[in-house]
Amino acid sequence: MTAFAISGITYFFGFLVLPIIFGFIIYLVKFKHTIDVIKSIPGPPAIPLVGHGHYFIGKSPHENLLQFHAFAKTYGRTYKIWLGPELNIMTNDVQDAEVILGTTRFNDKAQQYVTLDPWLREGLLISRARKWHLRRKALTPAFHFKILEQFVEIFDRQSRSLLENLHKEHRMQTSKGFDLYDWVNLSTLDTICESAMGVSVNAQTNADSEYVRAVKTIAMVLHKRMFDIIYRFNLTYRLTKLAREEKKALAVLHGFTEKVIIQRREELLKAQQQTEDQSTNADADVGSKRKMAFLDILLQSEIDGKPLSNLDIREEVDTFMFEGHDTTSSAITFCFYNLALNPECQRKCFEEVIQVLGKDKSKPVTFEDLNNLHYVELCIKETLRLFPSVPLLGRKITEECEINGKIIPAGTNIGISPLQLGRMEELFPEPNVFKPERFEAGFSSEKVSPYAYIPFSAGPRNCIGQKFAMLEIKTVLANVLRHYEVDYAGNKDEEPLLIAELILRTKDPLMFKIKPRVY
């Protein structure tokens, strides 16, 4: 080999390797303090620059979940995960959860929530600091029981549309059963649209509409961006086909919401321009016939003495749409799964439904009826312990701090898993057994912290719509159970493989069979 060739190879080697070495040195200098501070927090071996990303590359979402379970088993309740330069500390310590969730000190959402920005902007779910505080204060009255009571008629009507689709499925069902989630998901979409905006998108009768397709696209985008390294970072994501599909879907969703906002605002302005008596009648019309949709309340709300702009309202309506759709679908489907696997619990639910609602299947469900379904509520709570709709809660540490003896550097993402907390033996004896009775005395006791059971999060930033969700879930369960006996068509001896992304779901569809009740 000539000296010229050797020098060329040496030059190429230096050109390729030296920048990597130089970048690694800068990386170490920049993160030296962070690395030193978290030395006492255990974690798996990391690769320079990549961190622990190699544990997740090429893995399926279910395999990623199993990996987190393996980390927890090996490294304990609190461990660290580096995803490139992004530090994540996962904790399943109840005392940590209480410190992090129990005050407004750690109110900023984790970096992972950035995937929601294009859709929700600065809505209540991901807004920060003073903006979050003012929005939360302004929106809380919208979830007063007097307002929620008006939504029950929507819950009942849309769940009856669900029954019509289940009737069709029953006529065609085979031994393999059918995918209940798809129908439930369309039902909750109709429900949340009408509750949020006062309009119906008729998803249950037109599942292929432009709006429904856009909602499904956004859900798919959010799932993919959670763990896939190609989609995780904006620099690479913008170059993908998925990013273009998201842009088209957002144009549909934002355009629809904005159109409804403008229309409703014009209607309210016209009503206010009438005489005092006519204005009173118009307001009554808005409150009764239109059921005072979430949008109507926002249009009449003020922050710092000023009405909300169309963009402000769109952010909150879209947030309500996101938080009240797939989460509720997940909870309802897992409820039916648990009741199908536990016939005695299903029998008790059915008997309570008949006791409260009577034997007239056409009788509408009322707010009072739902509040009297105590055992049904226990079954919902137990389902959310085993299968929380939101399996991971995330916060971002904005200033270096100490949490129960652990120094946490600024910029760290903290992850708390309601899914793993709900399956801990020391918190819930026989954690994998469906036992609704464990919630009979409520959940406050000297032995168990209220931060052990957090399917709706906890503290000041808990889910503002949890009562709304419970009422909707109860309505669907009550109406379906008084018409059908539900059976699981899958393998009853093995729990389905779970995928824990923004919303908990199963790797394969949960298949059900139904049998009409005769009484």
Q: What is the DSSP string of 322-338?
A: HHTTHHHHHHHHHHHHH
E strand or H helix that includes residue 167: helix 145-172
Determine the Cα–Cα distance for residues 338 and 352; give it in Å rounded to an integer: 17
Q: Is 349 annotated as a binding residue?
A: no
Q: Of 206, 205, 219, 299, which Cα lies nearest the Cα of 253?
A: 219
Long-range contacts of 60-66 (CB under 8 A, 24+ apart): 60/507, 61/223, 61/226, 61/227, 61/499, 61/500, 61/501, 61/507, 62/497, 62/498, 62/499, 62/507, 64/227, 64/500, 65/498, 65/499, 65/500
Tokens 């987190």 map to which residue?
68
Sequence-ordered list of residues with C-beta below 8 angstroms from that of 184, at least 6 positions apart, any chain: 162, 329, 332, 333, 476
Determine the Cα–Cα distance for residues 136 and 81; give it in Å rounded to an integer: 32
Instruction: Kindly tell me the burial class for residue 62, based on how many C-beta atoms sit within 10 Å of its own C-beta (0-12, 13-18, 19 or more).
Output: middle
Q: Of 385, 396, 408, 494, which Cα lies nearest the Cα of 38?
A: 408
Question: Binding site for heme: what residues are annotated?
Answer: 463
Question: Binding site: what residues are annotated?
Answer: 463
